[in-house]
Structure 1
Amino acid sequence: MSNTALKETPTKSVDHITPHWRQNAKEIQKFGTVIKDLPIGIDEKARQQICEALNVLLADTASLRDLYKKSHWQVGGPTFYQLHLLFDKHFEQQVELVDLLAERIQILGGVSVAMAHDIAELTRLNRPPKGREEVPVQISRLLEAHALILKDARVWAKKAADLGDDGTNDLLVSNVIRTNEMQVWFVSEHLVDMPLVFAQ
């Protein structure tokens, strides 16, 4: 190829590959609304009710997830190793539930709560102190959170079924309720006063 041919090749403008990252626009859907005409066989009013309930449950689950991570980092004492690992395992399981709940809200045509400050406004869980607490207090906080979530999940599993939303019913029963029940079992056993060496 000659030098002349090289000079004739058009060069791309630098602007063509510059990212356009300073963009702003109005929201495409307001929080607290659902898409009106969604062909999934569940009417708008039912989807609105379910999305509102799921967003509260999502906020509580996200808060429980973070409470597990806080406990994982700050746990101490003779059971440190076991609880450090257990709390992190439960954190990962709650991460999965957060994703499932958020996606279910979007499937129903709603808008899932997402940012930490919005979750903090919506959650019903009591806020723990920033500092470290004793293990029995950490576990009590976790169990109180589980109890609240489980009570709510059971109520809304039944309501979702009554409203014809089998998908949400299945999510709440198969994932949220079963995961939280299992975690309650594993965590609550650490508050049972059992002899370690000699039977009583």
Structure 2
Amino acid sequence: MEPALSTTSSAGGGQPLLHQKGAETQSFGTLKQLPIGLGHDTRKYACQRLNRVLADTHILYALYKKHHWLMRGATFYSLHLMLDKHAQEQLALVDALAERIQSLGGVAVADPRHVAELTSVPRPPDGVEPVPVMLSRLLDAHERILIDARDAAARVSAEGDEGSNDLLVSEVVRTGETQVWFLAEHLVDTPLVRA
């Protein structure tokens, strides 16, 4: 006779407690108090601005991956590699922005459906576009982020939040400017075999 299976937990090897549900412990748009020397209103404003940049950066990352996969033509290999490198750099920015929001006591936008509600970057077609159009779409997304990040950096700095200012200028703006340079140079109509 086989022993009966126990459904009770024992030390060191119990059954996982699956399908748990519960109320939110912190709503999006709210702050928890953290002793970081910044006032509530300053932190709340910084979280709002950072979440906008974060949503757009999430979308830019996704656009880079989409275009990386859908690249075509004679420059396929170099663009395929470059777009993937840029995507990884944008993913690092997503993480840095989200962690800054959390360190201010806020809640970082994370779910792709929520990101889509907050982004200012227009949705591309679901299919494949010509290569110059895909590159132009990336440049447009970058410009939106750069304009917003510069404005946010100036405003949070005026509120005394130099940590958010540093992240926006040193990482978001500088990374974006470099990536724009690399992308834009691929749209110069330069003959390959005749001068």
**TM-score higher than 0.5:** yes
Aligned counterpart, 1:177: 173
Q: Number of aligned residue pairs: give it.
A: 187
- Tell me the TM-score normalized by structure 2: 0.93
Aligned counterpart, 1:15: 9
What secondary structure is seen at the aligned counterpart in 1 of 2:9?
helix
What secondary structure is seen at the aligned counterpart in 1 of 2:190?
coil
Gaps of 5+ in 1: 1-11
Match of 2:37 among 36, 41, 46: 41
Q: Does 1:157 align with 2:150?
A: no
**Counterpart residue type for residue 15 of structure 1:** S
CA distance in 2, matches of 1:56, 1:157: 12
**Counterpart residue type for residue 154 of structure 1:** R
- Tell me the TM-score normalized by structure 1: 0.91
> Cα offset for 1:198?
1.9
Match of 2:106 among 78, 89, 110: 110
CA distance in 1, matches of 2:186, 2:117: 31
> Cα offset for 1:22?
2.0
Match of 2:94 among 98, 103, 122: 98
> Cα offset for 1:24?
1.2
- After superposition, the C-alpha distances for 1:16-50 in whole angstroms (9 at most, x for unaligned) are 21001221111110001111x32101100011111
Aligned counterpart, 1:31: 28
Gaps of 5+ in 2: 1-5
2:54 and 2:94 in contact (8 A); partners too: yes
Aligned counterpart, 2:186: 190
Aligned counterpart, 2:84: 88
2:7 and 2:15 in contact (8 A); partners too: no
CA distance in 1, matches of 2:29, 2:168: 20
Overall identity of the aligned pairs, in %? 55
Larger helix proportion, structure 1 or 2?
Answer: 1
> Cα offset for 1:195?
2.1
CA distance in 2, matches of 1:131, 1:26: 39
**Counterpart residue type for residue 83 of structure 1:** L
CA distance in 1, matches of 2:181, 2:52: 24
CA distance in 1, matches of 2:78, 2:116: 29
Over aligned residue pairs, what C-alpha RMSD do you find?
Answer: 1.2
CA distance in 2, matches of 1:67, 1:154: 22
**Counterpart residue type for residue 83 of structure 2:** F
CA distance in 2, matches of 1:191, 1:183: 13
CA distance in 2, matches of 1:171, 1:52: 15
> Cα offset for 1:14?
5.5
- After superposition, the C-alpha distances for 1:67-95 in whole angstroms (9 at most, x for unaligned) are 00000000101111110001100000000
> Cα offset for 1:13?
7.4
The runs of 4+ residues in structure 1 deviating greater than 6 Å are none
